[in-house]
Amino acid sequence: LPHNRRVDTDAFVRDGFVTVRGAFDAETARACREMIWDSLGEHGVSRDPATWAMPCVEINCPEGEPFAAAGTSPALGAAYDELIGPGRWTRRAGAGGAVPVRFPSEEFPGNCGYHIEGSFAGPGPELELWVNVRSRARGLLVLFLFSDVGPDDAPTRLICGSHLYIPAILQRYGETGLPSDDVSGRWRPSVLCRGTAHATGKAGDVYLCHPFIVHTATWPHRGATPRMLAQPAVHVRDGFALDGTDPSPVAQAIVTGLTSYADSPRPR
């Protein structure tokens, strides 16, 4: 990469994600795991494998100094600036989001399925998240690895380039958008035939994903230790402009999808 770039923005536009290796150090990751274990204790789960009865236990990401250190990593701040734009994303005190802790198990965890993330509360009374073509409210999906994650540890699977097929689906729903859970019924099955990548790496690595990337949890977990990661959004108040005036790689990818994959939605 050129010396003044922290992430490969061309790869981000093409593939829908980039990885910041060593975004926070091993000691910070260890301290985060300690706090995650403390939270798991409230669910009757300890380091004793005899307590690992469920394949997945999801908790809210704890607050505290190690999570603040991870979430405010200078390397991540620089990467957010490159992908979204300086001053456009909302800084937070910690990592945020949910922490789905996956335990070694052959059992189906019940939360696997290809999807994109929702971004904002829908107009109805239902508690569901919606998404629109400008990606209102969400700038990125971020995967913080608090534990080492290898190929046997149920890593998140990312469909490379899938984010380029989603804008044409969302465009017809305008500013209102639609529930994110409804998007999967509208993409062509061939979207899932693209190459895949898995969010593996060392504790302290962080994956920065386009808001529209299609992804899924995987199973089984055939590793030896629980997999711990957080999956927050980076909040962007106004979303992205799609008229060619927005220089951010997030917006560039959406515009690329609209111009190159305009016929991609499945016929209804």
pLDDT digits (tens, 9 = 90+) for 57-114: 999 999 999 999 999 999 999 999 999 999 999 998 899 999 999 999 999 988 789 9
Residue recorded with tokens 């993330």: 117
Give per-residue pLDDT as tens, 127-174.
Answer: 899 999 999 999 999 999 999 999 999 999 999 999 999 999 999 999
Residue recorded with tokens 């061939």: 190
Helix (H, G, I), strand (E, B) or coil at 175: coil
Which comes out higher in pLDDT, residue 4 or 190? Answer: 190
H or E element at residue 254: helix 249-260
pLDDT of residue 261: 81
Triad 230, 102, 154: Cα angle to 5° = 95
pLDDT of residue 182: 95
Query: How far, in Å, CA of 201 to CA of 203, rounded?
Result: 7
Which comes out higher in pLDDT, residue 109 or 202? Answer: 202
Q: What is the mean pLDDT of residues 240-263?
A: 93
pLDDT of residue 124: 82
pLDDT bin (cut points 50, 70, 90) of residue 211 is very high
The mean predicted confidence, pLDDT, of the chain is 94
Q: What is the mean pLDDT of residues 214-237?
A: 96
pLDDT of residue 71: 96
pLDDT bin (cut points 50, 70, 90) of residue 257 is very high
pLDDT of residue 2: 47
pTM: 0.95
Q: Which long-range contacts (CB under 8 A, 24 or more apart) does 186-190 make?
A: 186/265, 186/266, 186/268, 187/162, 187/214, 187/264, 187/265, 187/266, 188/264, 188/265, 188/266, 189/266
pLDDT of residue 267: 47
pLDDT bin (cut points 50, 70, 90) of residue 264 is low
213 closest CA partner among 145, 139, 268, 264 = 139
Give, in order, the Cα–Cα distances in Å from 159 to each of 26, 156, 215.
Answer: 28, 10, 6
92 closest CA partner among 139, 33, 25, 148 = 139
CB contact at 8 A, 218 and 125: no
Q: Starting at the edge strand that comes first in sequence, how are the strands of the sheet with 129-131 ordered?
A: 120-121, 129-131, 178-179
Q: What is the mean pLDDT of residues 240-265?
A: 90
Give per-residue pLDDT as tens, 23-67.
Answer: 999 999 999 999 999 999 999 999 999 999 999 999 999 999 999
Within 13 A of 112's CA, how many CA atoms are on the CB side? Answer: 16
